[in-house]
Amino acid sequence: MAGLADLTLIQAADRVASGETTSLELLRACWANLDAVNPQVNAMIWQDREDAEVKARAADEAVRTKQRLGPLHGVPMAHKDMYYQAGKLSTCGSALRKDFRPAITATVIGRLSAAGAFTFGGLNMAEFAQNPTGHNKTFGDCHNPWNPPYITGGSSSGSGASVAARFNYMALGSDTGGSIRLPASACGVTGLKPTQTRVSRYGVMPLSFSHDNVGPVARTARDCARVLTAIAGHDPLDPTSAREPVPDYESFMDGDLRGLRIGVPAIGFLDGADAPVVAAMEAALLVLIGRGAVVTRFDLPLMDAIAAYGGIVSRAEAAPIHAEWMRSDPQAYGAHISGRMYPGYAIPAAYYIEALSRRGPVLRAFAAEVFAKADVLVTPTIRTCLPTLAETDIDRGPPGTETKFMAVSANTRPFNYLGLPAISVPCGFDPNGCPIGLQIAGRPFGEGRILKVAGAYQSDTDWHWAKPPMVRTAA
């Protein structure tokens, strides 16, 4: 039976604003699922219910006095625990920051508040946003609400799991190599990585300055559109944020895909892909073709350069951020975190500069060839059926576990070096009952177009409405 926690973000916001329901009722519906299911999934690591109730009552009082706080009026949220809120806990998923209370508030949190939303807690995540699986040594691994021994995807593990388990209408994630799209795919929800520079990173824990992105994980593409409209745009506190105008992203979602050119990479993104994943992608393509899209299959250029340069940039930028702790307290990290960071200290500066300096030319050459043939690219978000937490546990697994671990993000990483926007939408289930995600990528600042494609797909399918069995039982 559907309840208030099953509403989409937009339904929830609009019902509060119209007086049809209250923010406090939404909050309590989310908490009912949280109390019932969090012990099994471990998606939320701290809560501030008292403060949340004060904010929910304020939102409800605003409705009574005919004020509209904004397009997210009265919507309770929780985010990956790396978005700073002055004076509130922000653990970054690590023992090294278990008591960290920043003095500043992230611009994106400020913008969500200005739009009427409020937060009620912090979500589990990979330590310092550094794994694609959801393992966490300090706060415990995050478990997939569809099948708990399986990974949630990472690093925004709690973001994906909490939205799937109906604790939350939307959660911010961060994406440096796929960390929004992977948990969206693994947990059966929708996750948008915007164009590099589209959203401010001020007050957000850094991992790799060149590749970090802020974006939403939500139930639907339309929910992501509403959030992106609220959070995108230049921020004087983040000089790297783009001055590109921010449209109303919901206005793109008219469902009309007539003449849309979809490119499907003929090789690379499907190497080693599992049959159920390929079948789900092909079925999704038929849905899009049914809406008037045309599919072309071709090889993508420069993939070796993108992989080599992208890997160097991520590793070289993460290493110095953690050097002090890697000297003083390396055992505070999970072995897979410190182990993956360690080689970053041996990368020559000249390699790093070469990788950065070629990013522009690589993007220009890639775009010139690819976007002459296609308007968007479509791939599986994760090319294999989901692995279990045990199969990808580098800390306890045998040598070679790294290969399965790294394969999780093989299809998402290229778009971080290229800086392109990409969204993951649910498109099926694997034989283990775990969700499969479809990745749709576009040109720089082409979020409107990929949201339009994702929205059209969700108009004709109902994968995004599916609810994990443990949540159905809880309800």
Partner 1 sequence: MGAFETSVKSTIARWFGIAAPNEPAKRLAAELAGTILAFEALRGTLAFEDEPSSFESALQATKEPA
| Helix, strand, coil share of the chain (percent; to 5) | 45, 15, 40
- Pick the piece of the chain touching partner 1 (CB under 8 A) from 26-34, 122-130, 152-160, 436-444: 436-444
Q: Binding mask 437-466 vs partner 1 (x if CB under 8 A, - otherwise)?
A: -----xxxxx-xx-----------------
Q: Please, which of residues 391-430 interact with partner 1 by CB under 8 A?
A: 394-395, 399, 402, 419
The answer to whether 308 contacts partner 1 (rule: CB under 8 A) is yes
The answer to whether 167 and 416 have CB atoms below 8 angstroms apart is no
Interface pick for partner 1 out of 358, 459, 466, 475 (rule CB under 8 A): 358
How many residues are recorded in the chain? 475
Q: Which of 61, 275, 345, 460 is the binder for partner 1 (CB under 8 A)?
A: 345
User: At closest approach, how far in Å is the CB of 335 from partner 1?
Assistant: 4
Which value, to the nearest 10 degrees, does the dihedral of the CA atoms of residues 97, 205, 451, 289 take? -70
Q: What is the dihedral of CA 265, 268, 274, 276, to 10 degrees?
A: -10
Shortest distance (Å) from residue 252 CB to partner 1: 10
Q: What is the DSSP letter of 386?
A: P
- Our CA dihedral for 55, 59, 65, 71, rounded to 10 degrees, sits at 140
Task: Locate 299 and state its tokens.
Answer: 């090889």
Which of 32, 270, 303, 307 forms a contact with partner 1 (CB under 8 A)?
307
φ, ψ of residue 87 to 5 degrees: the values are 85, -5
363 part of the interface to partner 1, by CB under 8 A: yes
Q: Which of residues 171-200 bind partner 1 (CB under 8 A)?
A: 195-197
Is 333 a binding residue for partner 1 by CB under 8 A? The answer is yes
Please report, as residue ranges, which positions from 97 to 136 form the binding site for partner 1 (by CB under 8 A). Answer: none
Q: Based on CB atoms, which residue is closest to partner 1, 20 or 395?
A: 395
Query: Which residues are catalytically annotated?
Result: 80, 155, 179
Asked if residue 310 binds partner 1 (CB under 8 A), the reply is no
Tell me the longest C-alpha to C-alpha distance in the chain: 63
Spell out the residues 6+ positions from residue 52 whose beta carbon is closer than 8 angstroms to its own. Answer: 27, 76, 118, 119, 120, 121
The secondary element (H helix, E strand) that includes residue 400 is: none
Residues lying near partner 1 in the complex (CB under 8 A): 195-197, 210, 242, 244, 304-305, 307-308, 311-312, 323, 326-327, 330-331, 333, 335-336, 338-340, 342-343, 345-347, 351, 354, 356-365, 367-368, 371, 394-395, 399, 402, 419, 442-446, 448-449
